[in-house]
Amino acid sequence: MASGTEYAQEYQEAQKAYVQGNYQEAAEIVDRLVKSFPDDPSASLLRGHIYCYGLQQFEVAKEQYNSVLALTSNEDFSRLCQ
């Protein structure tokens, strides 16, 4: 399993790729993160955004947003999944 530093670096790489429009690269990175950290709502949320707004694979995005809602009751996450 990756260390906290490695996780943070990969998360930032995925975010950067997403913002730059490199959706496939972002998806590959975030897919690894979600696989390694399935209980992390932040990674699942980012994966949802990448698949929804970037790749327009809405079923995958919906699954990720539902996963986020199941993982946390934090209202900030709930608002971002709507």
Structural domain boundaries, residue 42:
4-80
Mean predicted confidence (pLDDT) in 11-17: 97
Do 23 and 6 touch, CB atoms closer than 8 A? no
**How many separate domains does the chain show?**
1
Which pTM was predicted? 0.90
23-36 and 41-49 are packed helices; what angle lies between their axes, rounded to 10 degrees?
160
Q: What is the pLDDT of residues 24-73, one digit of tens each?
A: 999 999 999 999 999 999 999 999 999 999 999 999 999 999 999 999 88
The CATH number of residue 75's host domain is: 1.25.40.10
Residue type, 33: L
